[in-house]
Structure 1
Amino acid sequence: MAAALASLLKKTHIEDHDEILRSAEAALKQSKGDLETQHVKAVALLNLDRYSDAVTAIEAGGDKLKEKVRLEYAYALYKSGKSAEAAEIAAKGSQRGYSHVEAQARYRTEDFQRAAELYKQLSANQAQDAEADLRVNASAVDAQLEWSGKGAMVQNKRAARGDLEAFETAYNAACGSIARGELGQGEVLLKRARDLCESVEDMTEEDKETELLPIAVQQIYVLTRLGRHEEANKLGQSIGEKTFPDQSSKLIARVNSIAAAGVPSNPFLAQRLLAFDLETLKPDYPFAYQTAALEQNSSATELLAMKFGGVVDSTSKALSKQDGATLDRRLNGLSVVNAAAHARNKVGKDALKHFLPLLEKRPNDIGLILTIVQSYVQIGNLTSATVHLEKFLTKLENSANGSDLDMRFAPGLVGTLVSLYNSQSRREPARSALGKAATHWRTRSNHSRGVIHLLKAAGSSLTESQDPSHQTLARDIFQDLHDKEPSDRYAAAGLLAASPATAKSSDLSSLQPVDQLVKDIDVEALEAAGIAQPPASVIAAATRKRPAEEQQTKPKKHKKLCKSKMPKDYDPNRTPDPERWLPLRDRSSYKPKGKKGKAKQAMMAQGAVSEDSRPATPGADVVKSKQQQQGGGKKKKGKGNKW
């Protein structure tokens, strides 16, 4: 009976899944171990969106049922929020359905690299899959790669024409642009996505409103980043507390609305509104970069509410789990918040009094060292900022841990050090820092977007050096970049600048020829126009000043002296005495008068002895010295009373 019922259910076309479920459960009461009926029940539960019940029913059927309905089991796990288990089960299948489920599960587990590979395989052979669905999912994965810092894996950086035909792909393209920092382009694509969504005819108004909410939330973020707070605040107020498809989107919308309003007038209320628990967001957890931003925002409002002790305790628990240095954005962000809580929102020198003792306790904390460097820069002490960063990087470079070397030459840290050098006009140390970093990363195969920018900056700086070793390294850097990406014009131009003699025509194919660059320039018109004249204000200022040549060629006019200030015996035809400014006794024409004057003049000669210092008769100086030793002559009696 059960087998016959299962066979009958498979052949029927009943659209009421509740009826199918009731029939399957009735059959299972008579035969609990019938795999076909259990399969029918699992499919009915999936169609009714009862994913947790489907997982329970499949697991209750044992290993045989799990093996038989592996695809349904993987999909039920994915929809129940157990994406990691779903990905492992789907990876064992070879059909296209398994690849679809695995790609979606990998997306939720933030394994975007594997998800991109799966969608690339599915797009190569579309079979019966809808091209639009694959394009939407693949563009969503590309956007998440950009947000997670793996944008080097994204092949298409610009939105194609097909991406602008549907609001889903336009929205994903906008997210990718925003993640790359192209906020203006992101704003344009978001407007395009909104217009496309509003123009869809086969969607109800409720569905349109649901789809427009994420677009509006992203627009608030972009407007806030662009500094247009009034527009962002107005858009946030229009959203209000509308019905969101999931709790994560609702929380993100609330955060963006509060941020768009500026510094909250009531930080205690803002702190309460931003408080959240990850467990309440199941099964749609925010991604890691979103969670990090939410934690920082929550901590920022707690600092405004002066809950310093709570912030220190909550952030210290997460930081204590990390032993060495890390480039994790979440942990480094928590480190900055922790330092601010210790300093009790103080800045400058007052904050450094708290930061420096923390560095002794956490010597490998990258977030803390960058906070210290920033504090020194704010007070204008660039030397101390440079010294602290140099010591920290030297410690990482001498570390026995191999991963610390990659952190030592992380693009952000190298860029910070080079910026400090350039602000102090220390060009050679900056060039050496870039050269060391480029030498390190050339030994690595996979380069992120930040590393590629670092290599380009290093090559550009080394090209300007007169050191032959630097020029050779610059040529090798641009050659490597050009080999990996022949269409990169920056790499081709750098290769030409670093080695113009050895550059090949094939290497320069991506560059626009000079003839095309100057073809629209009328040389004769430029020559006829003459040399460009400065602005009228500059010309007017120049005419008020006498040219230097005119000042040198024209003789100076002598001023006439007033007759009352002239000497009585002044003769204009007679040459004045050049020693007239010297005192009389210092002039060459001076002749002393009398015995004392002659004696004084004789003393001016080198080796001369004064007449007064010579003894009058031989032995007189000896007699005089004896008298001084004996106390001289008789002592005169003092006046006083006689006794």
Structure 2
Amino acid sequence: MSEKTAREKTIAAHYAELNKYGENGEYERALKTANKILGVAPHEFLAFYCKVVCLLELSRFDEALTQINKNPEYLQNLVFEKAYCYYRLNKLNEALKTIESNDGNLDYRTKELKAQILYRLERYTDAYSIYQEAVKNTDDEYEEERLTNLYATMVYLGSDKMDNFEELKEPTYELCYNKACMLINLENFLEAEKKLKQCEKMYLEKLEEDDDITEEEADIELALIRLQLAFVYQKQGRIKEAQALYTSNLKLKLEDIALQSVASNNIVCINKDQNLFDSKKKMKVALNESLVYKLPSLQRKHISFNNAILNYYINQTEQCEKICQDIISKWPELAANVNVLRAFNLVKVEKIDEAVALLEKNVNSDKLYINLCIAQLYLIMGNKLEACKVLENIGEETYKPGIIGALTTLYLGIGNESKALEVFEKAVEFYKRNKVESGDLSVLYKQAAAFHIRNGHPQVAANSLEELLLVNKIDKKISAELVLAYAQFDKDKSLKLSKDLPSVKELSQGLDLESIQTLAPVAIKKSPGVKPDSQPGTPRTEESKKRRNKHKKRKGKLPKYYDPNAEPDPERWLPKYERTGYRKRKDRRSNKDVIKGSQGTSSGQSEQYDFSSKRIEDYSSSPANTVSPSPRGAHNKQQAHQKKANQKKKNRRR
């Protein structure tokens, strides 16, 4: 047999061995066998490919990547494997470059890996396009996994890609879960709650059918569903239910750090400025370093911001400022909210001027919100006038009903009534000029009219009510208010307008007078000068007077043996022991000759038990001066037995 034939036989035997190990999942042995083949035939590509696959299965990604880079001649055929190594090592940009450098000839699995990399890089639109294409053009056993990934990308795309939301399939609990996440993203929390409960039911049914699922895997999947349900409860304001679910699932000590982090962060949000020690512990879990690769940036930035707020609550002002600076450098879109927190952090250390200056620099980012915060800071300083100036200089936002109400309240607090009136006048002019016909206008006119009537300006109030009547001609309440306003300065016009109001007959139409008369009278609070059995201004009838006269006062009872001729005792109001003829009753127990002990000792034993005559020196010289517990129960029994024996002796003598 030639050397070449023997070599081929050896390689064939090793390949058979390699195939057997691969089928059994014995990748360590398979790796050794692949190395044996490469030792005999160094350029055997199939053996090299098997070696790389074994390293991937054993999660030795660095080693696999090194082997691929050492053999660049095989790179064209190992694009997927190289990109997958980078992906698992969290080097997402390098993974994407590897795929895009060979983008002309990609198989379906490499395209799906690219979609997954794009998803992790938060390029959701690109990932969605690839998954959508893969779902349309492939038909194999992995269809449900592709749909799951497609739905996962749709969660982050918003309502744009959800036109056919109702048509989305949900045969598995994973698809049902992702559909629930879409509903949460659309803030449809009631439907999301139903979908999550359906999802949990589907998974429990799967557990009954599938015995291969371990208890740990089941706990993780159920915890994922239940923690999402807890978030839905939290958004609905059902805080106790949410907190119970968070706490119970965290007790499971799940290995998935992402789940622990999200649940811990949400508990910190529930705690707010309470249970700060618990919040501090939970925040440590939420800030795990490995979460950079496990949570999207949206969740990570919210966790960081919550950490800054927590440090503000626990008075760690320097740490709070440091975290805020870090958030602004990583996520500039959060600058407006973070700067507000920084400003209030400065207020804590009594640097209010610096806080105002900081907010004024960032006023363009969110004009209304930042200006309201500046006004609040001026109010903290007690400077109401500056707060008013800020609220008056925010453009069209100044004419919102809430801000108008705040301005009038502040000006009245200062005592500047004319300025408060001016605020209303400017607001009315603004709404007239811009021809606003929304609900805000009617609210504003009502506020203005009420304010002017309270402050003794019925003419201005009448103008506001007339404008309001033009918008809402049907409302008779406005007409009635206008009649009352005109009655204060133009009685003729008031009388004319009152004719348009409904008559008493029209108002009383449909009322059951008999039922009103039979109703129990309402209890009326007594007022000075009003008698209890009549309403103010109601004259009494003859019948009521007679009924009242029937009730006569009873005569008081006289004491026993009362003598009307005798003068009453002048000391009758004093207690007996203070009267002159009072004698203290003699106490039989005051006789000191008879002394009885706890067991009925006679007077002959008085000296034995009378310690008042003994001196301290006599007691201290006694040999029994140590303190020890006395057996009181045994002593009592002994005396009882002695008593019985004496009694028996007496009986015998008789």
Question: What TM-score, normalized by structure 2, do the two folds share?
Answer: 0.54
Change in CA separation of 1:247 and 1:205 when aligned onto 2, cut-off 3 Å:
closer
2:611 counterpart residue number: none
- Distance 1:369-1:533 versus aligned 2 partners, 3 A rule: same
Q: Is the 8 A contact 1:187 1:222 kept in 2?
A: yes
- Listed one character per residue, the Cα deviations across residues 581-607 of structure 1 (whole Å, up to 9, x for unaligned) are xxxxxxxxxxxxxxxxxxxxxxxxxxx
Task: Determine the structure 2 residue equivalent to 1:319.
Answer: 328
Structure 1 residue 154 corresponds to structure 2 residue 154: no
Opposite residue 97 of structure 1, the aligned amino acid is R
Deviations 1:299-341 (A, max 9, x none): 111111100112113323553689xxx6x2x444433332232
Distance in structure 1 (CA, Å) of the matches to 2:255 and 2:433: 53
Alignment partners' CA distance in 2, 1:109 and 1:276? 24
CA–CA distance in structure 1, aligned partners of residues 107 and 428 of structure 2: 59
Q: State the 1:160 CA deviation.
A: 3.8
> Match of 1:197?
203
Instruction: Pick the aligned partner of 1:335 from 335, 339, 361.
Output: 339
Distance 2:401 2:127 in 1: 37
Map 1:475-494 → 2, pairs under 5 A: none
**Structure 1 counterpart SS, 2:295:** coil
Give the C-alpha shift of residue 262 in structure 1.
5.4
Query: Does the C-alpha gap of structure 1 residues 246 and 431 become closer, same or farther in structure 2, counting only changes over 3 Å?
Result: farther
Of residues 38, 44, 47 in structure 1, which corresponds to 2:57?
47
| Aligned counterpart, 2:372 | 373
Match of 2:174 in 1: 168
What's 1:21 paired with?
Answer: 31
Query: Paired residue for 2:232?
Result: 222
Mapping of 1:291-330 within 5 angstroms? 291-319=300-328, 328=333, 330=334
Query: How far 1:185 sits from its partner (Å)?
Result: 1.8
The one-letter code sitting in structure 1 at the alignment partner of 2:77 is K
* Deviation string, structure 1 residues 321-364 (Cα, Å, up to 9, x no partner): 89xxx6x2x4444333322322229xxxx99755321134x346
- Code of the residue aligned with 1:257 in structure 2: it is I
Retained in 1: the 8 A contact 2:183–2:192?
yes
Structure 1 residue 416, shift from structure 2 partner: 11
Rate the CA distance shift 1:204–1:277 in 2: closer, same or farther, 3 A: closer
Aligned to 2:145: 133
Q: 1:547-585: CA deviations, max 9, x gaps?
A: xxxxxxxxxxxxxxxxxxxxxxxxxxxxxxxxxxxxxxx
Match of 2:178, as an amino acid?
N
Pick from 86, 92, 110 the counterpart of residue 77 of structure 1.
86
**Corresponding letter in the other structure for 1:192:** Q
Corresponding residue number in structure 1 for 2:280: 271
- The AA in structure 1 aligned to 2:96 is A
CA distance in 2, matches of 1:159, 1:385: 48
Q: Tell me, in whole angstroms, the C-alpha distance in 2 between the residues paired with 1:429 and 1:417.
A: 8
Q: Is it true that 1:239 corresponds to 2:245 in the alignment? A: no
Distance 1:124 1:47, change over 3 A: same
Secondary structure of 1:366's counterpart equals: coil
After superposition, the Cα gap between the structure-2 partners of 1:18 and 1:432, relative to the gap in structure 1 and judged at 3 Å, is farther
Instruction: Tell me the CA shift for residue 369 of structure 1.
Output: 6.6
Deviation at 1:256, TM superposition (A): 2.2
Change (3 A) 1:314 1:258: closer
Q: CA RMSD in A?
A: 4.4
Cα distance in structure 2, aligned partners of 1:56 and 1:416: 65
- The answer for the alignment partner of 2:556 in structure 1 is none
Mark the CA change 1:533 to 1:276 in structure 2 (over 3 Å): closer, same or farther: farther
The Cα offsets for residues 95-132 of structure 1, whole Å up to 9 and x where unpaired, read as 21121101111111111111111111112222335332
How many residues are matched? Answer: 411
- Conserved? CA contact 2:346–2:352, under 8 Å: no
Alignment partners' CA distance in 2, 1:190 and 1:250: 19
Query: Identity of counterpart residues, as a percentage?
Result: 18
1:228, CA displacement in angstroms?
A: 1.4
Structure ranking higher in helix proportion: 2
Quick one: which amino acid aligns to residue 370 of structure 1? Y
Whole-angstrom distance in 2 between the partners of 1:209 and 1:272: 23
Contact conserved, 1:17 with 1:47, CA < 8 A, in 2?
A: yes
For the 8 Å contact 1:116–1:138, the answer to whether it is kept is yes
Q: In structure 2, how many angstroms separate the alpha carbons of the residues matched to 1:351 and 1:224?
A: 35
Change (3 A) 1:48 1:427: farther
Aligned residues of 2:359 and 2:370 also touching (Cα < 8 A): no
Q: Distance in 2 between matches of 1:65 and 1:432?
A: 76
* Alpha-carbon separation, structure 2, partners of 1:416 and 1:136: 48
CA distance in 2, matches of 1:179, 1:352: 38
- Asked if 1:110 is matched to 2:125, the reply is no
1:252 corresponding residue in structure 2? 262
Distance 2:74 2:229 in 1: 47
Residue 388 (structure 1) shift: 5.2
Equivalent of 2:293 in 272, 277, 284:
284
Does the 8 Å contact 1:143/1:176 carry over to 2?
yes
Partner of 2:357: 357
Shift of 1:69: 0.7
Q: How far apart are 1:298 and its partner, in Å?
A: 1.0
What residue in structure 1 maps to residue 135 of structure 2?
A: 123
C-alpha separation between the residues in 1 aligned to 2:144 and 2:389? 56
Aligned equivalents of 1:431, 1:176: Cα separation in 2: 43
Distance 1:129 1:418 in 2: 59
Q: Contact between 2:55 and 2:61, CA under 8 Å: does it hold in 1? A: yes
* Shift in CA distance, 24/157, structure 1 to aligned 2, threshold 3 Å: same
Which structure is richer in relative contact order (CA contacts within 8 A, separation 6 or more)? Answer: 1
Cα 1:385/1:125, change in 2 over 3 Å: farther
Contact 1:359 1:369 in 2 (8 A): no
State the alpha-carbon separation in 1 of the partners of residues 136 and 306 from structure 2.
Answer: 42
Larger Rg: 2
Q: 1:535 to 1:314 in 2, by over 3 A?
A: farther
Q: Secondary structure at the match of 2:294?
A: coil
Q: 1:122 to 1:36 in 2, by over 3 A?
A: same
Q: What's the CA shift for 1:49?
A: 3.6
Deviations 1:486-526 (A, max 9, x none): xxxxxxxxxxxxxxxxxxxxxxxxxxxxxxxxxxxxxxxxx
Q: Which amino acid aligns with 1:173?
A: K
Query: Matched residue of 1:162: which SS?
Result: coil
1:2-40, Cα deviation, whole Å (9 max, x unpaired)? 994686578666322222112123334555554432211
Q: 1:235 to 1:103 in 2, by over 3 A?
A: same
The 3 A distance-change label for structure 1 pair 108 and 131 is same
8 Å Cα contact 1:20-1:44 kept in structure 2: yes
Does the 8 Å contact 1:373/1:389 carry over to 2? Answer: no
Q: Relative to structure 1, is the Cα distance of residues 385 and 285 closer, same or farther in structure 2, using a 3 angstrom cutoff?
A: farther
Residue type of the partner of 1:153?
D
Counterparts of residues 184-583 of structure 1 (less than 5 Å): 184-200=190-206, 201-202=209-210, 203-261=213-271, 263-265=273-275, 267-275=276-284, 280-281=289-290, 284-319=293-328, 328=333, 330-344=334-348, 353-360=353-360, 362-363=361-362, 366=365, 370-374=369-373, 376=375, 384=389, 386-387=391-392, 389-390=394-395
> What is the TM-score when the length of structure 1 is the normalising length?
0.55
Could you list the runs of 5+ residues in structure 2 that have no partner in the other structure? 1-6, 406-422, 442-506, 522-654
